[in-house]
Structure 1
């Protein structure tokens, strides 16, 4: 049961990454965040909306670094659609 949930989550993450990537210019490559990623964020341009999903969902931040280069960073956030009751 857990394996199927993980497979579904990974499938949705992959689909979400492709959908987010389609909104960006063709020359901007989507980078995946990890704890070792060195960030140089001078100006945040946009952050994707995660909607009201529950659980970990992919999000993207488009930003410019201190040299003016544009980057798209994908990372996981906890969705705000979970209820405690």
Structure 2
């Protein structure tokens, strides 16, 4: 019983930590100055759509995490 409660408490702590790390997704607009010191991740475009959103997650020069979303042109192939 004690072990189950401990596991549940640790799981809830993990969810709380993830909620603290939530970052607002900023839509890119022409002319925005991006301070990208390190790229963390980038999603790929949907190759089956002509235009699809892509997100770039990065750290700025102060170590703060940001996510910017922009549109890219895919290959548009459907078959």
- Give the TM bin, normalised by the shorter chain: 0.5 to 0.7
Q: Which residues of structure 1 form unaligned runs of 5+?
A: 1-24
d(CA) in 2 for partners of 1:37 and 1:82?
Answer: 31
- Do the aligned partners of 2:46 and 2:52 also contact (CA within 8 Å) in 1? no
1:11-30 matched pairs, under 5 angstroms: 26=19, 27-30=22-25
TM superposition outliers: structure 1 runs of 4+ over 4 Å? none
Is 1:54 paired with 2:54? no
TM-score for the superposition, normalised by structure 2: 0.65
Please give the TM-score of this superposition, normalised by the length of structure 1.
0.61
In terms of Rg, which structure is larger?
Answer: 2
- How many correspondences in the alignment? 59
Alignment partner of 1:33 is 2:18: no
